[in-house]
Amino acid sequence: MQTPIPTLFMRGGTSRGPFFLASDLPADVATRDQVLLAVMGSPDPRQIDGLGGAHPLTSKVGIVSPSCTPGVALDFLFVQLQPALSTVDTTPNCGNMLAAVVPFAIECGLITPQADTTTARVLTINTQMQCDITVQTPLGPHGRVISYDGETRIDGVPGTSAPITINFLDTAGSVCSGLLPTGQVRDHVTISGSAFETFDLDITCIDNGMPLVLFNARDVDCTGYESVAALNTNLVLKAKLEALRLHCGHLMGLGDVTTKNYPKMTLVAAPRDGGSICTRSFIPHVCHDAIGVLAAVTVGTACVLQGSVCDGLSHMTGSSVSVEHPTGEFSVELGIDPNDPQNVLRAALLRTARLIMRGEVMVPAALWSPSR
């Protein structure tokens, strides 16, 4: 008495999860969400009864369909679930999972490769943002196929794979009202709570693909170079960050963000490994082992904004920003308006992806049985 649902289990960048055709899932959103919770095994810290990997980076789902938008090939709905919670969040975007969308579409026959590389325009339903994604599609014995083999290496993923280029076309204000949702490049706030002493700090609230709150690590009694494990066990720091996040949710026009996965809290410090800026990013309650794609784009944008909290810390070389994170670095190429050096017109970056498994995931028929 279980319902089988076709799926491809894929890695996209430094994230992974099951991908589905929208037509293979329930049309009713409430039913779909219950099905996805069962697929991932949430709520349970280990996600022992599902496909989730007991971590926010491995508790993600991709839903893909042909697009009805003129000039757009595919629609992508990103779904963020949490291991121990019953939340199913389709508000934010995920640039890592985005890297697997076109490979998934080719594997499923939604797109037919026509040359050595194939570019498809994708609309992210979550944020209504468009991007062009280019993948490698060499000629095989039976026609052109998606290639996962190559020499491209990204920090946070072992080995090498074929390159996937993502060119974001319009990222400013993906969730918020604009690039700088408070109207300021820098704000000063006072935060209080029962678990820590009241503290003051300068912040930059910014959304160029992902809503972030950026602040100098030293303002929360950190260096910005701590290990992920050290930050995740620092309960006073986590209490400070959550109080700051809830406060900034209102500042950024997002309302009560208690149950939301954004804004992401990002500590910044001067680079120490040859990059442009050093980061420690929380997603939102666990320190990221690396940094999200769109978070890196947003941090990179803050580095070119005069007066942001990155101003004076970042070391810029042209339009390329190397964002250091706990397991390496993430390079973002920014297209800068020649008439306004603080206006970012586009952002391009390199990711990889891989098909891990294809098959059917089983959910209890009591949750959903299309034949009934």
Q: How high is the pLDDT of residue 32?
A: 98
- Average pLDDT of 192-219? 96
d(CA 347, CA 336): 9
Q: How high is the pLDDT of residue 98?
A: 97
Does pLDDT of 342 surpass 70? no
Omega before residue 263 within 30° of 0, cis:
yes
Residue found by looking up tokens 């995931």 in the block: 361
- Average pLDDT of 76-84? 97
Does pLDDT of 242 surpass 70? yes
% the chain with pLDDT above 70? 99
Q: How high is the pLDDT of residue 333?
A: 85
C-alpha count within 13 angstroms, C-beta hemisphere, residue 266: 34
100's tokens: 């697997």
DSSP 312-350: TT---BTTEEEEEETTEEEEEEEEEETTEEEEEEEEEEE
d(CA 331, CA 177): 26
C-alpha count within 13 angstroms, C-beta hemisphere, residue 156: 24
309's tokens: 């909290």
Q: How high is the pLDDT of residue 196?
A: 96
User: How would residue 47 be classed by pLDDT, with cut points 50, 70 and 90?
Assistant: very high
Q: How high is the pLDDT of residue 171?
A: 83
Answer yes or no: are the C-beta atoms of 130 and 119 closer than 8 Å: no
DSSP 58-121: GSEEEEEEE--STT--EEEEEEEE-TTS--EE-SS--HHHHTTHHHHHHHHTSS---SSEEEEE
The DSSP H or E segment spanning 53 is: none
Does pLDDT of 200 surpass 90? yes
Report the chain's mean pLDDT, rounded to a whole number. Answer: 94
d(CA 244, CA 261): 14
User: How would residue 125 be classed by pLDDT, with cut points 50, 70 and 90?
Assistant: very high
Which among 87, 102, 110, 148 has a CA at the least distance from the CA of 354? 148
Domains of the chain: 2-163+353-364 (3.10.310.10), 187-334 (3.10.310.10)
Q: How high is the pLDDT of residue 130?
A: 93
Other beta carbons less than 10 A from residue 160's beta carbon: 13
d(CA 90, CA 228): 26
Sort 322 into a burial class: Cβ within 10 Å, 0-12 / 13-18 / 19+: buried
Q: How far is CA 115 from CA 101, 123, 133, 154, in A?
A: 18, 22, 14, 25
Q: How high is the pLDDT of residue 313?
A: 96
- Average pLDDT of 215-231? 97
Answer yes or no: are the C-beta atoms of 205 and 265 closer than 8 Å: no
pLDDT in tens, 140-199: 999 999 999 999 999 889 999 999 999 988 788 889 999 999 999 999 999 999 999 999
Q: How high is the pLDDT of residue 170?
A: 78
Q: What is the CA radius of gyration of the chain?
A: 20
Does pLDDT of 372 surpass 60? no
pLDDT in tens, 250-280: 999 999 999 998 999 999 999 999 999 999 9
**Residue 153 CA from chain centroid, whole number:** 18
pLDDT in tens, 284-329: 999 999 999 899 999 999 998 999 999 999 998 777 899 999 999 9
Q: How many helices (H) and strands (E) does the chain have?
A: 6, 19
Answer yes or no: are the C-beta atoms of 263 and 242 closer than 8 Å: no
Q: How high is the pLDDT of residue 341?
A: 67
Q: How high is the pLDDT of residue 346?
A: 81
Answer yes or no: are the C-beta atoms of 51 and 18 closer than 8 Å: yes
pTM tops 0.95: no
% the chain with pLDDT above 90? 84
Answer yes or no: are the C-beta atoms of 241 and 288 closer than 8 Å: no
Give the list of residues 6+ apart from residue 196 with CB closer than 8 angstroms, or none.
236, 239, 240, 243
Residue 108, φ and ψ in degrees, nearest 5:
-90, -5
Which among 114, 26, 104 has a CA at the least distance from the CA of 62? 104
pLDDT, greater one: 230 or 341: 230
